[in-house]
Amino acid sequence: MCFYREDDYLNSFSLIATNVLSGNRNFEGRVHQYTRASYLASPPLVVAYALAGTMNIDLMKDPLGKDSNGADVFFKDLWPSRSEVQAILSKTVSVEQFKKVYKDISKGTENWNNLKVTKTSVYNWNPESTYIHDPPFFANTTKEMPVIGDIKGAYCLMNLGDAVTTDHISPAGAIAKKSPAGEYLLGKGVAKRDFNTYGSRRGNDLVMARGTFANIRIVNKLCEKTGAWTTHIPSGDVVSPFEASKRYLEKKESMIVMGGKLYGNGSSRDWAAKGPYLMGVSAVIAESFERIHRSNLLGMGILPLEFLPGEGADQLGLTGKERFNICLKGGDISVMQKLEVTANDKKFTVVVRLDTEPEVLFWKSGGILNYVLREMAK
């Protein structure tokens, strides 16, 4: 259940739009960018709240609505008994159905088998597709291990606080019309009604890179505006994170991200690491990491660095507008090693969150994808 208008109507009146979903995550903005309060419920409860059209209801006492005769209809009137459910199951579900489906499951459907494809040794990418695009993960891969240089004069792309989730980093919900991803799709001739969601377009790196840090509720200390905004440090312009990263990449400038506690908690989707990689982020410095997201970052060649206990960007007086220098010792990095970071006139120590020897090797290889490719080439 989701009520919204795709303009500033809700914000103008300080309204909090709500939704009820039967999924497994209720981060704000997950269903739609304009919904701030999300509640997890079973599918029948989702239907019940949708019929009521409000969250301000006690389903045990208040009616959901009225019938054709004007009489109150309560949730208990609609909820089926166990015997009713069992009777329906007995009529509609049988062992024969499963046997029939699994007998021919490897043959595929008629529509699938009738698809016309060109036989090639590798996948024949369609450059016009807005759903599936050839990602540049191997664009710069060489047979030899990459030469690891220091991170010099890096700009901070995002200065984030505690409990930043993977939904903040890589939204899964609706694509807003006035967003880099929305503008890209419009430019490709895709109508707004056909935008679908970031989750549905995860096969297109051009969409997902533009959707990185695009959550409407993300709070970035680099600018006063809440949402998918940051400050391009050299110019002072407040732009989208994608636009800022594009400008940095054009000047061949390095980038880092700063975070607080539990950076990357949530469902730990792979695109929360792939997106920053495509934007050009070299390292993430946080007070602590969610376990899987830390692994995903180093898997994409992004170095996860952790402030010392009790320290963080705010405690060290870092605004995020400094230039950051990190000596990587030519890649001679060991498990949980400490490194010194210089940010203008400030110096502080971080711990390299490469927790095992294989993780060190993956990072030195430029990420696990490059590591696997080199191993295959051998």
- In this structure, the answer to whether residues 253 and 349 fall within a common structural domain is yes
Angstrom distance (rounded) from CA 227 to CA 209: 16
Domain that holds residue 252: 148-377
Domain end: 90, 107, 123, which one?
123
Q: Are 32 and 2 in contact (CB under 8 A)?
A: yes
Q: HSE on the CB side for 377, CA within 13 Å?
A: 11
| Residue linked to tokens 């694509």 | 175
In angstroms, how far is CA 103 from the centroid of its own chain?
38
Angstrom distance (rounded) from CA 189 to CA 39: 35
DSSP per position, 143-167: SSPPPPPPEEEEEEEEEB-TT-BHH
Count of structural domains within the chain? 2
Angstrom distance (rounded) from CA 320 to CA 108: 53
Structure tokens at 166: 């993977």
Angstrom distance (rounded) from CA 368 to CA 359: 9
- In this structure, the answer to whether residues 311 and 352 fall within a common structural domain is yes
What separation in angstroms does the CA of 271 have from each of 231, 278, 288? Answer: 23, 10, 19
CATH code for the domain in which residue 202 is found? 3.20.19.10
Which residues face 346 on adjacent strands?
A: 343
Contacts of 242 (CB under 8 A, 6+ apart): 180, 209, 210, 212, 213, 214, 279
pLDDT (tens place) for every residue of the chain, 378 residues total: 444 445 556 666 667 788 898 887 777 666 766 777 889 999 999 999 999 999 899 999 999 999 999 999 999 999 999 999 999 999 999 999 999 989 988 888 899 999 988 889 988 999 899 999 999 999 989 999 999 999 999 999 999 999 999 989 998 888 988 999 999 999 999 999 999 999 899 999 999 999 999 988 899 999 999 889 999 999 999 999 999 999 999 999 999 999 999 999 987 689 999 999 999 999 999 999 999 999 999 999 999 999 999 999 999 999 999 999 999 999 999 999 999 999 999 999 999 999 999 999 999 999 999 999 999 988
- In this structure, the answer to whether residues 183 and 308 fall within a common structural domain is yes
> Is 243 within the bounds of a domain?
yes
Structure tokens at 63: 């009616």
- In this structure, the answer to whether residues 174 and 209 fall within a common structural domain is yes
| Residue linked to tokens 């430019």 | 187
Which residues face 255 on adjacent strands?
A: 155, 281
> Is 100 within the bounds of a domain?
yes
> Is 132 within the bounds of a domain?
no
